[in-house]
């Protein structure tokens, strides 16, 4: 079976550090990588909406000299006729050298990887995980802070359904001296399975609070997230919780001068646009780094699969 990436734990810490090194080299010397993937084809297979992840995968492959195929949406693919994920990836393996897949069901990318003849990269599976967003997050944090060890990381918002949060906790729990501050409404706390596997098992210190202003002064990283409307069972709960946290310049007055503010985007209302001018806001840099991290990951997997 070829190697696929379903979560960040499929990559060792050394491999993640190496991918960031490669991405940084790609940023500095893009022309040297412009033909790395000549003749290769990436298929994007997205069963859920996306702007960043889909376009950054496509931009990444085009920047490496490869090409891209995709269906406009799940509705216009044979998934709408009832074709299974297993059959779909078997078919796409005949057309493409690598697949980036997003699906609304947790575990769908894992199933796809079992049946695919080419590497599958999980581009987000339901409320489970989103490893390439985490690669973008880690690249941003390392560039802003010079490393990961010893940081106090605040995660704020929808920590229950926010798959980027789950992947980031999994990834950062493997570095020394990390402390997490989990800031959410009671109903949107980090799921027990993430706490058990990543935090309790490794004795990583963490606190759970509901008030952002109470803890903002302690944080080195503040990772804001959107309340995930599409995963709620009823609209009333979403409407009650959607504006639980809105980061404003006033709230940032008590934050550290070298705080780094991240957000996987899309943003709805949880960071005021007035914060965008603050030098601590990193979320648009994070988008750019995501493209280079995906370039590095595509290259690595295609090499390992013997296609480059």
Q: Which residues are catalytic?
A: 52-53, 81, 102, 130
Contact 267, 283 (CB under 8 A): yes
- In whole angstroms, the minimum distance from the beta carbon of 135 to ligand CP comes to 12
Identified binder of ligand CP from the candidate list 265, 281, 297, 301, rule CB under 6 A: 265
Which tokens sit at 34?
Answer: 């412009």
Q: At CA 218, angle to CA 293 and CA 244, rounded to 5?
A: 80
The piece of 18-26, 49-57, 176-184, 273-281 that touches ligand CP (CB under 6 A) is 49-57
Q: What distance in Å separates the CA atoms of residue 183 and residue 32, rounded to the nearest whole number?
A: 43
- In whole angstroms, the minimum distance from the beta carbon of 141 to ligand CP comes to 16
Q: Residue 43, interface with ligand CP (CB under 6 A)?
A: no
What DSSP assignment string belongs to 222-270? EEE----GGG-S-HHHHHHHTTS--B-TTGGGGS-TT-EEE--S--SSS
Q: Residue 205, interface with ligand CP (CB under 6 A)?
A: no
The residue among 217 and 266 lying less far from ligand CP, judged by its C-beta, is 266
- Return the closest-CA partner of residue 262 out of 240, 245, 244, 285: 285
Site string for ligand CP, 267-296 (x = CB under 6 A): ------------------------------
Contact 287, 52 (CB under 8 A): yes
What DSSP assignment string belongs to 188-210? GPPPHHHIIIIIITTT--EEEES
Helix (H, G, I), strand (E, B) or coil at 72: coil
Number of alpha carbons in the 13 Å side-chain half-sphere of residue 95: 15
Q: Residue 266, interface with ligand CP (CB under 6 A)?
A: yes
Q: Residue 122, interface with ligand CP (CB under 6 A)?
A: no
Q: Residue 264, interface with ligand CP (CB under 6 A)?
A: yes
The residue among 131 and 154 lying less far from ligand CP, judged by its C-beta, is 131
Within 8 A by CB and 6+ apart from 232, the residues are 161, 238
Strand partners, 262: 223
Identified binder of ligand CP from the candidate list 133, 170, 228, 299, rule CB under 6 A: 133
The piece of 8-16, 48-56, 92-100, 274-282 that touches ligand CP (CB under 6 A) is 48-56
- In whole angstroms, the minimum distance from the beta carbon of 188 to ligand CP comes to 18
Residues 50-79 that bind ligand CP (CB under 6 A): 50-53
The residue among 83 and 106 lying less far from ligand CP, judged by its C-beta, is 106
Residues in contact with ligand CP, counted by CB under 6 A, come to a total of 9
The site for ligand CP (CB under 6 A) is made up of 50-53, 124, 133, 264-266
């Amino acid at each position: 079976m070829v190697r696929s990436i379903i979560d960040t734990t499929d990559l060792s810490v050394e491999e993640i550090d190496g991918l960031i090194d490669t991405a940084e080299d790609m940023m500095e010397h893009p022309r040297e990588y412009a033909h790395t993937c000549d003749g290769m084809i990436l298929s994007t297979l997205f069963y859920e909406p996306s702007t960043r992840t889909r376009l950054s995968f496509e931009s990444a492959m085009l920047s490496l000299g490869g090409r891209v195929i995709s269906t406009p949406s799940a509705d216009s693919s044979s998934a709408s006729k009832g074709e299974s994920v297993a059959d779909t990836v078997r078919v796409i393996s005949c057309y493409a050298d690598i697949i980036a897949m997003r699906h609304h069901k947790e575990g769908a990318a894992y199933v796809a990887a079992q049946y695919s003849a080419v590497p599958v990269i999980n581009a987000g599976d339901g409320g489970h995980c989103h490893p390439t967003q985490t690669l973008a997050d880690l690249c941003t944090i390392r560039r802003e802070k010079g490393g990961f060890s010893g940081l106090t990381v605040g995660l704020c918002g929808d920590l229950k359904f926010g798959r980027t949060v789950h992947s980031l906790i999994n990834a950062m729990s493997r570095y020394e001296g990390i402390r997490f501050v989990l800031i959410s409404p009671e109903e949107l706390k980090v799921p027990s399975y993430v706490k058990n596997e990543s935090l309790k098992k490794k004795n990583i210190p963490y606190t759970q609070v509901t008030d952002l202003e109470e803890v903002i002064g302690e944080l080195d990283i503040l990772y804001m997230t959107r309340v995930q409307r599409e995963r709620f069972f009823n609209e009333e709960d979403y409407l009650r919780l959607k504006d639980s946290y809105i980061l404003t310049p006033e709230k940032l007055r008590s934050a550290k001068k070298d705080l780094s503010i991240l957000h996987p985007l899309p943003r709805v209302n949880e960071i005021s646009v007035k914060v965008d001018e603050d030098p601590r806001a990193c979320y648009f840099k994070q988008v750019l780094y995501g493209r280079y991290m995906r370039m590095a990951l595509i290259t690595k997997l295609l090499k390992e699969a013997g296609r480059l």
